[in-house]
């Protein structure tokens, strides 16, 4: 099944990322999405989550680690692992696309694959599109995601993820 190949696809995307972002040092270079090319690697944390369903016994502390590779002003690849709201380990791989900005905050969504949620595909991989906002200042940043509730399988909330730029 294709969902079982998502980790391999994520790895392939990260291996190919330098080629996608070639000439990032050239100021007038543009990426595939039309924005200025970047070549940045960020170390990301897990998440702190405020759940919309506060009456359930959900885990709001979601420690973990991940990596983000910024391809351009509008897009980035991401992958990582964290302890989710259902107190299970989850992995993710995805791509941010944030074509809008307001007051230095990028707005858009991350499209990715996730696993580890017992009521969603029995803990297996599934695809999701999650609205996100990103703010970066020099070597630090934050991603904020608005995770929608999906039936009784996924519990929605607002998740905050910290990040640190390793190099560009």
Bridge partner list, 143: 134, 161
Q: Is 36 exposed, middle or buried (0-12, 13-18, 19+ CB in 10 A)?
A: middle
First to last CA, the chain: 36
Residue-wise pLDDT for 25-81, tens only, equals 455 577 777 778 889 999 999 999 999 988 888 999 999 999 999 999 999 999 999
Q: Please tell me the predicted confidence (pLDDT) of residue 104.
A: 94
% of the chain residues with pLDDT over 70: 83
Residues in the chain, overall count: 168
Residue-wise pLDDT for 111-126, tens only, equals 999 999 999 999 999 9
Mean pLDDT rounded to a whole number for the chain: 87
Q: Please tell me the predicted confidence (pLDDT) of residue 18.
A: 53
Position 8 pLDDT exceeds 80: no
Q: Please tell me the predicted confidence (pLDDT) of residue 3.
A: 46
Interior angle at CA 6, CA 4 and CA 11, nearest 5:
130
The region of weakest confidence among 12-16, 77-81, 100-104 is 12-16
Q: Please tell me the predicted confidence (pLDDT) of residue 2.
A: 44
């Amino acid at each position: 099944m294709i969902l079982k190949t998502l980790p391999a696809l994520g790895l392939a995307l990260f291996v190919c990322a330098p080629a996608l972002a070639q000439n990032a040092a050239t100021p007038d270079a543009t990426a595939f999405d039309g924005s200025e090319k970047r070549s940045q690697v960020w170390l990301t944390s897990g998440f702190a989550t405020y759940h919309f369903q506060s009456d359930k016994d959900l885990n709001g502390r979601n420690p973990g680690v991940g990596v983000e590779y910024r391809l351009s002003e509008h897009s980035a690849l991401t992958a990582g692992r964290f302890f989710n709201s259902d107190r299970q380990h989850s992995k993710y791989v995805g791509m941010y696309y944030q074509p809008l900005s307001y007051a230095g905050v990028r707005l858009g969504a991350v499209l990715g694959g996730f696993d580890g949620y017992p009521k969603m595909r029995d803990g297996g991989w599934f695809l999701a599109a999650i609205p996100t906002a990103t703010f970066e200042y020099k070597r630090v940043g934050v991603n904020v995601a608005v995770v929608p509730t999906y039936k009784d399988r996924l519990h929605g909330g607002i998740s905050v993820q910290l990040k640190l730029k390793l190099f560009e």
